Structure formats: structure tokens, C-alpha cells
Amino acid sequence: MKITKRPRVYIMASKRNGTLYTGVTSDVAARVGQHQVGAVPGFASRYGVNMLVYFEVHDSMEAAIVREKQVKKWRRAWKIAMIEKYNPAWLDLSSSISD
């Protein structure tokens, strides 16, 4: 059986209420792994953003990109409220990812 990668918008954090990073990918497990080991230089590696605290699945990459842009424009408080609604303990969700 072929596993189809599903587009996801995700939010990574450095710690509870810490620095946040919002991204989009079709392979969230691989992308989160890159964040966790600092494989890609940039914002996330510079600020130690390595905990997956929120993600949502989309039917198409186009829809995921639209949503990512929307979330990136949000105020920080709105992002934190969304994280706390779905992940109140700010657990690292990287082990719960499945396609």
C-alpha cells in the first residue's frame, strides 16, 4: 500500500509560550525531524524551535498554503489560544504524527 503524504500546517515552539514558528509541508514527520536536529539554517534553528505543538491536515497543498499565510498574519495571542485549545499541556506532538 502506498502512503500518501498529506499537506499540513504546523506550529513549532521552543517551549511553552516560547518562540513560535509556523510552516507548511507535505511530509510533516521529515520536516519536524529537520527542525529538531537544526538541519536547516534559519529562524527555527536559531531560536531552538523544536517542539511540534500544533498541526492541521488539509486536502491540498494549495489549501494548506492559504491557511499557513492566514495563521502567520495572526497575533501571537491568537496562535497561543489555538495551541492551548487543542494542546493545553503544550506536549510535543511529533510522536503522534501519521499519514
pLDDT tens digits for 10-38?
Answer: 999 999 999 999 999 999 888 888 887 77
Assess if residue 47 is contained within a domain: yes
Using a pLDDT cut of 70, give the percent of the chain over it.
94
Assess if residue 1 is contained within a domain: no
Question: Three-state DSSP class for 87?
Answer: coil
Assess if residue 73 is contained within a domain: yes
Average pLDDT over the chain, rounded to an integer:
89
Number of domains composing the chain: 1
* Overall pTM surpassing 0.75 (yes/no): yes
> How confident is the model over 62-82, as a mean pLDDT?
97
Assess if residue 2 is contained within a domain: no
CATH at 91? 3.40.1440.10
Assess if residue 31 is contained within a domain: yes
> How confident is the model over 34-59, as a mean pLDDT?
85
With a cut of 50, say whether residue 3 has pLDDT above it: no
Name which of 64, 58, 53 is nearest 90 in CA terms.
53
Instruction: Please state, in angstroms and rounded to a whole number, the distance separating the CA atoms of residues 61 and 41.
Output: 24
Assess if residue 35 is contained within a domain: yes
Which domain, by its residues, includes 52?
8-96
Is there a contact between 22 and 74 (Cβ–Cβ < 8 Å)?
no
Q: How is the beta sheet containing 8-13 ordered, strand by strand?
A: 20-25, 8-13, 51-57
Element (H, E) at 23: strand 20-25
Using a pLDDT cut of 90, give the percent of the chain over it.
64
